[in-house]
Structure 1
Amino acid sequence: MAEVLKIHPLDNVIVALRDFRAGEVIEASPEPIVFLEDVATKHKFAERDFGAGEIITMYGVTVGKTLQPVPRGTRISTENVVHASSEYSVGERRNQWDAPDVSAFTGRTFDGYHRADGRVGTRNYWLVIPLVFCENRNIEVIKSAMLEKLGYVTDKAFSVDVDSLIQQYRSGSTTEEIMQTDILRSGDQLQRNRVFPNVDGIKFLTHQGGCGGIRRDSESLCRLLAGYLSNPNVAGGTVLSLGCQNAQAGFLQEALDRISPNFSKPLYILEQQDSTSERDFIAEAVKATFAGLMQADQCVREPAALSHLTLGLECGGSDGFSGISANPALGYTSDLLVTLGGKAILSEFPELNGVEQELVNRCVTDAGAEKFARLMRSYSKRAEEVGSAFSMNPSPGNIRDGLITDAMKSAGAAKKGGTSPVVDVLDYTEPAVTPGLNLLCTPGNDVESTTGLAGSGANLIVFTTGLGTPTGNPIAPTVKMASNTKLAERMSDIIDINAGTVISGEDTIQSKGEELLELLIQIASGRRLTRAEKLGQDDFIPWKRGVSL
């Protein structure tokens, strides 16, 4: 296993692949480097002596600027480096691309649900969704009434014995004794006697939108919900409306007509203010949902070409290894899928700061390049107007594990998009319709971004992480890929695949990318569930188009 890594020939900082102590020496050109201080795994150190105000380069792009002299062999940190990124412009672009060898996947299929519009789902879900937060309680009542009775309950990997704590409290136990009590019990393996065997689940969504705020947010919510209903993983839906809210049922129907003119899935829209009582309203919703499930159950899995996969590319809880293991491996998977005729969607625009020029250069059309630049500049301007900026994107966890500037984080995050041409640029809620790599404007916030990916048509999501997260999505199976082996071993209950073997030298970017695609085929076919699915992790947060990094 290598001990250090210089990612790009133009870089002037080096990544530590293990912990180094002050005084240790590594071989380098033109002469060995002596560490002048401790440098932790995943962090970067200076390849040469820097003066104040000099540019730090990593991944071949500008990622920072020195605040003070930084001697060779010194750790790069927030104390001595500040965010900096290169300017970009829309001009002549280069679109030459060497596609990967896909011979191992040519002719391969997955077993999916074929929809009337020609798209294919990896799951067959029924949606129950509110147009406004006033209906959230009714959603929960319906969920409680139907989920377990129809056989849709997540297996319990463990249970928590609260009764034992109550008994100890009543018998006079101290807080110290309480804290030392073992309350974990083995989980129950529940029988899944589903009434509708071809329906993978009923997904009950709730949110805090639909009224109040600004009308633009409610209109955006309607477009997002329309995207969820038209997603190929969804068989149909039950929509609950109060009646007087900003997010009117008519707006939802208009959004559906725009993005899916031939929408033919069963859809029941119920308005509570037209009902005689809440009890009657809930009863009608339960009956409509049951009737919809009867129709959804008529669809069965059949073989489909891999070109019917639309892969959402996401990262969160990133660390100093994300950009050199998990993200480029996912990028290679994206390139494989694009070459096979599928779609990939790269989101999180605040985490593309500093690599704009590369993505502009990869846009196949002038309109796409100009739209990307316009969206990025508008987003950045809004952030600055409220006293924030893209430079404030890295979280404390990112910084602690070696990602000290937004440009450094972004340069690694962009590796998820591989090297293929950018065929289209989408604003939030716009559907991905063109085969190839699409860019989608979302925040860097993990759940707001994954929510947007599914709303734009992703029927699978891969979520790379260096620090760990349980995040999932209600309708798009979300595969968690660890950037390092320690995480994969420590949080094995939430991680599906380990890219830490790239760091150890057991795998290459290419071999790990191929392994990931094989896993995705199994998951798309329903032969495997993701860890997030097993945990029932259904995260859904619509973006209100305010400033969210």
Structure 2
Amino acid sequence: MTITAPSFLRLSPADNVAIARRDLTAGTTLPEFGLTLRQPIATGHKLALEPIEAGAPIRRYGQIIGFASEAIVPGDHVHVHNVEMRSFARDNAVGVDARPTEYCDVPATFQGIRRADGRVATRNYLGVVTSVNCSATVARAIADRMGRELFGHPTIDGVVPITHNAGCGMAVEGEGMDVLRRTISGYARHPNFAGVLLLGLGCEDNQLSRLAAATGLEESDTLQFATIQDKGGTAATIAWGVDALRAMVPVAEQARREPVPASELRLALECGGSDGYSGITANPALGAAADLLVAQGGTAILSETPEIYGAEHLLTRRAVSAEVARKLMERIAWWEDYTARNGGELNNNPSPGNKAGGLTTILEKSLGAVAKGGSTNLVEVYRYAEPVTARGLVFMDTPGYDPVAVTGQVAGGANMICFTTGRGSVFGAKPAPSIKLATNTPMYARMADDMDINCGPIADGEATVEEKGAEIFDLILRTASGEPTKSEALGLGDHEFAPWIIGATM
């Protein structure tokens, strides 16, 4: 069988591999390169376009994604069986690609909720945030009972329990506790919460008093502290919690949507369940949307340090200063040490699902993941869950695991999330709405109830990256104005709070 070029994608003239756009059988001829496939190539997987000697680099996006572990013949399947990782030099060239930001003359707006302190929310929830796993069940009981009372309320979106599996059995002070406290305080302060209960057990390592002292949290009419032991047990605490939330309802009811500039948006950029199309369709389309947001004076938060590993030079080249680039490289070095002392390595990514979708090495995955950050300058680098204050494209140091990464971004103040997926991740993350972007049309059709936008038409030649970027940006504004995402319509997002646990559990 002979087919034409649209059956594959060559992303750069420098590439020695192409990406299959559909399942290709052995014996298929590609006339443009005068080669015949020696093995079947699944959708999203790579095929060799020219002879590649053992030890020679494999190139995709015009960048090295690995090295041939054996000689590869034109038409061969190029994947984990014949590609390996090796060290090689990368040119960080700090700031050489940084350019003055071109701000848009026509301001975009959305219908946001401006809090009394000036911060802007995209949702209007009440929350019950736990200091320790031991208070999780009681927190959920309070949220469930109060949530049923508020069901169908015209201006309050509901009650969210923020529970986790940490807070005790860990060092009372140190890096791990610092990260947990930053994360909890970020949620307690999040603008999408009109009021919050902060609930502990009473005897845990993460004492509420120490949490408050370390983070500056103070009790008020819309932030109440309590422990189950001080309140007299489960039943008494649930009764107290419901009464305390009822007292916050009048404040939450005052929230009204009004036109606010798009510069008030802090957008978390995330990818999960990636495939061979992620770096071709949804990720660059999200990058185009991030560029539009930055042009409005807004903030886009790129994260997942292990999933920019090998592509960090593309970010340092856009850094606005040597200091910003240094911060990024310090986080890379920290991760190299962190994985080494835990008996691992950054190269052990991608996941089995990523590999099934066509991704072979962490370099290939990272080069596609970095595309979410668009093309504007990198203006700041933050530690996990630090408050994000800069406007523009920023980077937050997080693990690659989706719930943990997004938890850090939301704790940092993200009031919107865009989540790209090729395998079909179903993800909500209250209190911030999560827009799901499908990388390919077959998965979108199969999981249309979960996916908000299909970016597959980019690979199908039916849409451009810029067109999809504009579509995503428009949906961001509509969602920030109150339009529910697919995950919100399904009621998802109560269980995705997953703080990064650093250090020993004892």
Residues 110-119 or 45-54, more deviating? 110-119
Could you say which residue in structure 2 is the equivalent of 1:6? 10
| TM-score (normalised: structure 1) | 0.86
Residue-by-residue CA offset, 1:151-182 (whole Å, 9 max, x unaligned): 1xxxxxxxxxxxxxxxxxxxxxxxxxxxxxxx
Tell me if the contact between 2:265 and 2:415 (Cα under 8 Å) persists in the aligned partners.
Answer: yes
Could you say which residue in structure 2 is the equivalent of 1:35? 37
Could you say which residue in structure 2 is the equivalent of 1:168? none
Shift of 1:91: 5.4
Relative to 1, partners in 2 of residues 1:65 and 1:264: Cα closer, same or farther, differing over 3 Å? Answer: farther
Q: Which letter does structure 1 place at the counterpart of 2:205? A: N
Residue-by-residue CA offset, 1:216-240 (whole Å, 9 max, x unaligned): 4333222101111222212220011
Tell me if the contact between 1:465 and 1:483 (Cα under 8 Å) persists in the aligned partners.
Answer: yes
Tell me the secondary structure at the aligned position of residue 149 of structure 2: coil
Alignment partners' CA distance in 2, 1:198 and 1:131:
28
Tell me if the contact between 1:112 and 1:121 (Cα under 8 Å) persists in the aligned partners.
Answer: yes
Could you say which residue in structure 2 is the equivalent of 1:531? 486
Alignment partners' CA distance in 2, 1:265 and 1:69:
69
Tell me if the contact between 1:65 and 1:82 (Cα under 8 Å) persists in the aligned partners.
Answer: yes
Residues 217-226 or 469-478, more deviating? 217-226
Shift of 1:474: 1.5
Determine which of 178, 196, 199 is the counterpart of 2:156.
Answer: 199
Could you say which residue in structure 2 is the equivalent of 1:162? none
Alignment partners' CA distance in 1, 2:94 and 2:327:
15
Determine which of 249, 255, 258 is the counterpart of 1:299.
Answer: 255
Alignment partners' CA distance in 1, 2:87 and 2:450:
34
Alignment partners' CA distance in 1, 2:458 and 2:379:
29
Residue-by-residue CA offset, 1:380-400 (whole Å, 9 max, x unaligned): 221122221121111111111
Shift of 1:89: 6.5
Q: Which letter does structure 1 place at the counterpart of 2:60? A: M
* 1:135 is aligned to 2:135: yes
Could you say which residue in structure 2 is the equivalent of 1:484? 440
Tell me the secondary structure at the aligned position of residue 372 of structure 1: helix
* 1:22 is aligned to 2:26: yes
Q: Which letter does structure 1 place at the counterpart of 2:501? A: K
Alignment partners' CA distance in 1, 2:350 and 2:253:
45
Tell me if the contact between 1:230 and 1:256 (Cα under 8 Å) persists in the aligned partners.
Answer: no
Could you say which residue in structure 2 is the equivalent of 1:169? none
Tell me if the contact between 1:90 and 1:373 (Cα under 8 Å) persists in the aligned partners.
Answer: no
Tell me if the contact between 2:196 and 2:222 (Cα under 8 Å) persists in the aligned partners.
Answer: yes
Between the aligned residues of both structures, percent identity stands at 39
Could you say which residue in structure 1 is the equivalent of 2:354? 398
The CA RMSD over aligned residues, in Å, is 2.0
Flag the structure with larger Rg. Answer: 1
Shift of 1:493: 1.2
1:96-175 correspondence runs (5 A): 96-97=98-99, 102=104, 106-151=106-151
Relative to 1, partners in 2 of residues 1:446 and 1:102: Cα closer, same or farther, differing over 3 Å? Answer: same
Alignment partners' CA distance in 1, 2:166 and 2:467:
43
Tell me the secondary structure at the aligned position of residue 486 of structure 1: helix
* 1:358 is aligned to 2:314: yes
Could you say which residue in structure 2 is the equivalent of 1:371? 327
* 1:211 is aligned to 2:172: no
Alignment partners' CA distance in 1, 2:227 and 2:129:
12
Tell me if the contact between 1:85 and 1:354 (Cα under 8 Å) persists in the aligned partners.
Answer: no
Q: Give the aligned length.
A: 496
Alignment partners' CA distance in 2, 1:265 and 1:482:
42
Alignment partners' CA distance in 2, 1:314 and 1:82:
26
| TM-score (normalised: structure 2) | 0.93
Please list every run of 5 or more consecutive structure 2 residues that lacks an aligned counterpart in the other structure.
none
Could you say which residue in structure 2 is the equivalent of 1:224? 183
Tell me the secondary structure at the aligned position of residue 362 of structure 1: coil
Alignment partners' CA distance in 1, 2:438 and 2:104:
24
Relative to 1, partners in 2 of residues 1:9 and 1:23: Cα closer, same or farther, differing over 3 Å? Answer: same
